[in-house]
Amino acid sequence: MHIFASDNDNNDNDVLVAGVDEAGRGPLAGAVLAAAVILDPDAPIAGIRDSKLLSPERREKLAVLIRGNSLAWALGRAEVAEIDALNILQATLLAMRRAVLSLPVAPVRVLVDGKQAPSLPFEARTIVRGDKTVPAIGAASILAKVARDAEMVALDRRYPEYGFARHKGYPTRAHLANLREYGACPAHRLTFGPVRAVSQ
C-alpha cells in the first residue's frame, strides 16, 4: 500500500474516491485478491480499462503507472481456507474490505464493481460493469489481476503438475485433466465442484 501527495496538495476531499475490484472469483485454486485505488485527478493515466480486455504485457505496464501515480492504493486478499469456510462471495467481499481498510488514507467514497459492496465505514456504491466505465475501478481491476497472476505463477513453481502459470487456476480442460490425474493440492478450493469431485 502506498500514498503519494499530489503536487497541488489542496486536501480536496472530492478526490478521495476509491475504486475497488477483485480478481480470482472463478478459479478452482488460489486466493481471491482485491485492490482499492484512489487515482490522482492531476495525473491521469491513459488506457485504463477492465483488466480482462488488456494483454498481460499491457496490464503489467499500466500496473506500474497506477502504483506510481495514484494518490493511494492497497491490496486485500482472502485465502483458500477462508473461501472454503465462507463461500466465494463472502470471501470476495472480505478481500475488498481488507483492501479498502489498508489504504493509507481514508476515502470519502468507495465505488465497487458489481452488485454487492463490503461492509465499510465509508459511503459505498456498487456499479455494475464499473471496471469498464469508472477509471478508478478499472485501475483496481488491473492491480488485482496483476498481483493474482503473479501469485499463480509462484504456485506453479510449487505445484508444476497443474499448470497454474498458464490457466491461473481457472477450470480449463487441461486443469481439469490434471486434477483428475493428480488430485487436489493445498492451493485448491475444496468446496468448488470439480475439486470436491476428485477429493471425495
Binding residues: 21-22, 113
DSSP string covering 29-84, please? Answer: BS-EEEEEEE--TTS--TT---GGGS-HHHHHHHHHHHHHHSSEEEEEEE-HHHHH
- 34: nearest Cα among 117, 156, 106: 117
- Residues tagged in the binding site annotation for a divalent metal cation: 21-22, 113
